[in-house]
Chains A and B, each alone.
Chain A
Amino acid sequence: MKIPSELLAKIDEAISHYPVSQRSASLPLLHLWQEHFGHVSNEAITWIAQKLDLQPINILELVTFYPMFRREPAGRTHIRVCRTLSCSMAGSYQLRDEIAKAAGIDIKQWQADFYGNPHGDAEKSHSPEKLTGHAVHNSGHGSPVAVSADGQYSIEFVECLASCGSAPVVMVNDCFKENVKIAEAASLLSLQRSDATLPKVKTPHPREKRVVFANIDREGWTNDIECYLKAGGYAELRKALGMKPEEIVNEVKTSGLRGRGGAGFPTGVKWGFIKHGGPKPTYLICNADESEPGTFKDRYIIHQDPHQLLEGMIISCFAVGAKLAYLYIRGEFPEGAQILERALAEARSRGFLGKNILGSGFDCEIYVHRGAGAYICGEETGLIESLEGKRAYPRIKPPYFPAVLGLYQCPTIVNNVETLCDVKHILRMGGAEYAKIGRPNNTGTRILCVSGDVQKPGYYEVEVGSLTMGELIHEVCGGLKPGRSLKAVIPGGSSAKVLRAGEKFKLKDREITLEDIPMDFDTLAACGSMAGSGGVIVMDDSRDMVETLNNINEFYAHESCGQCTPCREGSLWMKKITDRMLAGGGVSNDPKVLKNVADNIAGKTICAFGEACSWPTQSFLAKFGDEFSARSTKDTPPPMPPEYTSEELASKDHIPAIPAPRNPGRDTMAEAATR
């Protein structure tokens, strides 16, 4: 195996970013390898394992876990089409087919070849031997890649690309394209320029209060350090370094800032868990693995205002006493990772990072660590495992609370991108002043990410609780599409419980409608849902709720890490039930079973993914039960072919496996299940 010296140099550089454990360099090395050679071959697995002094199985475990790694070559132009809710609502299934057509890929034929049947449904395949060939290994952990005959193009249906406000979105190699029109499908094949970094100007809505997003889509704003410094950047860092770390922690406590990643845990309290002066080092991790469907705020900060994030991070590192921090960015943000790398280099060269920052004696280093397409890495302990170079299996709590036993079993703080940016502003304003924004216990601003059936989807930074749901949809987002009425809203990312239009919510002192709900943590919780990550997905009366839930179920079934039983088995089961309902095979007991399956997952799992995957099912069934009943009318389920044909059982000593066959989408389902 000939490894070019530039690649070797990059590999050694990557390893040097992980002074504690070189196993952590597994993912970076796999990325480097795939970028250079196009895919991760068996040779690569062995080579990387050897390089990092690991067993080859340690690397194979990763390659088969993280969907971005391919074990077979893709096309020279590789196109990723987002399959998840907001994009599919905007037509991504059709888009995928159109792009395939333009690329000369016969998707139906490919499915037939890949799955051994024309329905593209692996689990109904009669011919597992067909799956042992080229195509299967191509599938990585289960996102099959269709390659055109000439090897020029390949298409992959992927889960949420975190740009739901500009759905449907597509990635062509590393270039990103938003608001793709079906008619543009062919032009995508030669896409050269990315929308992620394209200069845009968007005037804030009058109801907005821009703090974190002050510079996003601002005229004349660039993401380099000169521009940032001109606007007074890194002044708060200077200020922070003149304070005592405890003072900063206290300011953050006073500010009432709650984590913006989804759980809404008070940031200052989290920081307070860190015991200073212990024998172990403290680490800080920025969770930039933005991946909750419906959420797309961090991408703008990373792409357009990276120094704001870095400044917030360095201040936070100083506050919690971390000398080493990692910025865990999702794999699907390759440009974001490059921008951050450049920003880090700029900050280092100006003395904002590295040894003796601004002469304060404080040393701090930050490295970018790329994920590789696994939603579960957004869970903080899963992220830590991933950063340690393992499968992102969340850890049990107790005993593995990150503040005590986090990265490398050391105290670790994991904060969301938006949260870390807020830290900078808290320092600027002072905690007490910041706490005046928003409402008590719901302080500050919140970036609401609106997608789905509104006229003007996108991000809106508002004071927490200053807007009601109705104002957000009808005023700020320009209302629904003409002639449509509101049906439902998922208020905090796809795992948040759905709220139905016309529903009455009982609060302590009053009863309100969906439109009256103020967008804050506490009221949304009181209404039985959550503010979550701020991803608001709006659905109008054209939406089929079974179809919607099925799309969500597919996401969670695909993203379940598979570590603990209820989520591993239940998430796929729920998806299969909604698959069957959509295909016309729903039986009268299905809604009951579906609900019970969700009940058996929620609260029984290692991490909050259990709730994330069961809350949609629980709430959709509770709120739109009639739609599910209408799809569940059969007395008996449709007949199924045997799992193995009698010929297979008789003729084979060995029945080959289907490595994680993944149903590419419900559009291919119907015929199979109803015949």
Chain B
Amino acid sequence: MSTAPAAPVPMVNVQIDGVWLQFPKGTRLIDACGQAQKFIPRYCYHPKLSTPGNCRMCLVEMGMPKMGPDRQPVLGADGRPEIAWIPRAQISCAQDVSEGMAVRTDSPMVQECRKGVMEFLLINHPLDCPICDQAGECRLQEFSVEYGNSSSRFLERKVKKPKSVELGPRVTLDAERCVLCSRCIRFMKEVAKDDVLGFVDRGSFSTIACHPERTLDSNYSLNTVDICPVGALTSTDFRFKMRVWFLKETKTIDINDGLGSNITVGTRENKIYRITPRENNDVNGCWLPDSHRLNFKFIADPARLTTPQVKGQPVDWRSALSITAELLKAYPSQAIAMIASARMTNEELFLCSQIAKTLQLGDRVDILPRTGEPDGILIPADRNPNTTGARLFQVAAPQPGARLPSIADRVRSGSIKVLICLEDATKCGLTPEELAASKCTVIAIDILPNATTRLATVLLPGSGWVEKRGSMLNLNDRLQRLNRALTAPGEARDDWEILRDLLLALGGTQNPATIESLFQWMASIHPEFSGMSLSKIGDLGSPISSMAALPANAAQS
């Protein structure tokens, strides 16, 4: 990376609806108009994909500076170039702004074009909005209202096309609703690198299809549903589940890997219906892997842990925490270890580090690393969302997970007698039998039952990632924010509150009442966060520039 400041992009003057504005060279005209608050409707144009210019919805009236005999622009009374308007409407999606260019985004000619295109798009459309999943977020509906006709002139039979086609395991096609914008085809080819979709047939009968020997089974297939401007491609999982306008949308981040893709969680009445990517060009662009977005069913698992338990008996939180503290105090530090989790927020990991400090755990604390093959698109090798945070707060070994074998050994040998588990310990080098045989006292904070929680002396039900607030640091040291989309079930609590109360019970002195004050406490100790607050992080996160260099991590990529 060069430290020299980037060369400034030259600016060009563009007249939009009579107003001269400046845009950096290379800006697409359609985007320039959008920046000037003159939104241009579009179906096929997507800033992340190639530009076929096929939907013709973004037609505008365009002009270029009138050139004099000296090949210089003729200037008007205002000193600005006079405009020679092109008689034919031009698409604004395939054109970069240029010096002296002028557009009219709402002239009678443009209105006529949009009206015409809207009508063409609708004549063979089934108009089945009442049962269409896209209804409420459909560009056909939106632009119909703004630019369409109030009645139909089409007296003919509509073209019949395939309906309810399972293009792949997760995507269903209704070809009659398709406007043939080719966004899905281009996405699969250009972004997902799996040229699986194409057009078959011709003219008005053209249809999106897969070759019969292939299916749309890429791990990015559901992105085609996101970018489909109409109800042609729908998510088989979400299909017919919920009207989108009832969904409460919460901006948060994905926790399935170290990238921390920005997402929107759609919920209604404390239930998740879908997760969609949220555009963040510094993180995930517009995309999200299917595996990640569909990994939310566990939140609504009926087996969720909802009550604190001691030796299998439900107890109240106060008792559970005081029993935990007593247990911990009853053993010397050397007999205690903690398996923290890189799925936890910075705030939670910070509290873990404070607990570790209080209990003088030394090197008897680590996280469970999760790694896999990077997919070359979005998914990195590190499948934990906050390895960076865990390492920053030193609740992970410099090589995360490196201390787990020794912790496991000491559990087996009986030298560790209390294990604080924020992960399933039986995935950290101990078999359930070994853990059971060790007679180790397990204090587990978790959301779903597993081999460790079943052996836990104290079981403290925590919250899922969509049920909590907090921050995480992705692999690129970007500080991002989780927001609460749901409330945790039953008596389950936010993990930071559990850890705070445990710390207090262990003799801690700080008692942050809110996550904001916890963040301030954290920031006061860790200068990386100084000047930040949860609200300052913003929806798109912010890079932590003062991050101290952490030792190289093999899991990072």
Contact = CB atoms under 8 A, between A and B. Distances in A.
A190 to B, nearest CB: 33
Nearest to B199: A61
B202 A65 contact: yes
B495 to A, nearest CB: 44
Contacts of B537: none
Interface stretch (B115-123, B219-227, B429-437): B115-123
A260 interface: no
Interface string B194-211: 011111111111110111
Contact of A123 (B55, B59, B157): B157
A399 B95 CA distance: 8
Interface string A316-338: 00000000000000000000000
A393 B199 CA distance: 11
A351 interface: no
Interface string B179-217: 110000000000000011111111111110111111000
Contacts of B207: 657, 659
Interface string A62-86: 0011010000000000000000000
Contact of A605 (B56, B179, B203, B204): B56
Interface in B157-172: 157-165
A57 B113 contact: no
Contacts of B156: 123, 573, 576-577, 580
Interface stretch (A177-185, A226-234, A541-549, A555-563): A555-563
Contacts of A374: 202
B256 interface: no
Interface in B263-300: none
Given A391-B199, A604-B113, A654 B163 contact: yes
B164 to A, nearest CB: 5
A655 interface: yes
A572 interface: yes
A57 B211 contact: yes
A589 interface: yes
A601 B205 CA distance: 18
Given A128-B160, A566-B117, A643-B160, A56 B214 contact: yes
A381 to B, nearest CB: 12
Main secondary structure on chain B at its contact with chain A? loop
Given A593-B153, A655-B163, A396 B52 contact: yes
A562 B203 contact: yes
Counting chain A CB atoms within 10 Å of each CB, which of B52, B54, B179 scores highest?
B54
Interface in A629-675: 637, 640, 643, 653-661
A58 B196 CA distance: 8
Contact of A657 (B51, B94, B113, B175): B175
A57 B206 CA distance: 14
B62 to A, nearest CB: 11
A564 B195 contact: no
A501 interface: no
A561 B209 contact: no
A396 B91 contact: yes
Contact of A562 (B59, B115, B206): B206
B353 interface: no
A142 interface: yes
Interface residues of A, number: 64
B213 to A, nearest CB: 6
Nearest to B200: A64
A600 B157 CA distance: 20
Contacts of B159: 123, 572
Nearest to A376: B202
A556 B164 CA distance: 30
Contacts of A580: 155-156
Interface in A117-148: 123-124, 128, 141-142
B157 A640 contact: yes
Interface residues of B, number: 59
Contact of B210 (A57, A558, A564, A589): A57
Interface string A593-608: 1000001110111100
Contacts of B199: 61, 64-65, 391, 562
B28 to A, nearest CB: 12
A224 interface: no
Nearest to B205: A660
Nearest to B174: A655
Contacts of A55: 195-196, 211, 214
Nearest to A391: B199
Contacts of A192: none
A56 B175 CA distance: 20
Contacts of B201: 64-65, 141-142, 562, 659-660
A142 B89 CA distance: 32
Contacts of B439: none
Nearest to B164: A654
A561 B202 contact: yes
Given A57-B214, A58-B198, A141-B202, A653 B164 contact: yes
Nearest to B115: A600
A123 B201 CA distance: 16
Contacts of B154: 573
Given A564-B53, A565-B120, A600-B120, A559 B164 contact: no
A565 B124 CA distance: 11
A128 B157 CA distance: 14
A562 B180 CA distance: 9
A278 interface: no
A604 B89 contact: yes
Interface in A370-421: 374, 391, 393, 396, 398-399
A60 interface: yes
A659 to B, nearest CB: 6
Interface in B130-168: 153-165
A570 interface: yes
B357 interface: no
Contacts of B119: 600
Nearest to B156: A576
A504 to B, nearest CB: 26
Given A57-B196, A660-B201, A566 B214 contact: no
B162 A606 contact: no
A106 interface: no
A603 B200 contact: no
B158 A571 contact: no
B155 A587 contact: yes
B202 A658 contact: no
For B94, B154, B211, the residue with the greatest tally of chain A CB atoms inside 10 Å of its CB is B211
Of listed B115, B119, B155, residue having the most chain A CB within 10 A: B155
22 contacts: A55-B214, A60-B209, A61-B200, A64-B202, A65-B199, A65-B200, A123-B159, A128-B160, A141-B202, A142-B202, A393-B52, A562-B202, A564-B53, A568-B204, A571-B204, A577-B155, A580-B155, A604-B116, A606-B56, A654-B165, A657-B160, A658-B160
Interface of A: 42, 45-46, 55-58, 60-61, 64-65, 67, 123-124, 128, 141-142, 374, 391, 393, 396, 398-399, 557-566, 568-573, 576-577, 580, 587, 589, 593, 599-601, 603-606, 637, 640, 643, 653-661
Given A123-B160, A391-B199, A600-B113, 19 more contacts: A60-B209, A65-B200, A128-B160, A398-B95, A558-B203, A559-B203, A564-B53, A565-B56, A565-B180, A569-B123, A573-B123, A577-B155, A603-B88, A604-B56, A604-B113, A653-B164, A654-B163, A657-B175, A661-B205
* Ranked 7 nearest A-B pairs via Cβ: A600-B116, A660-B205, A657-B162, A569-B120, A562-B206, A56-B211, A576-B156
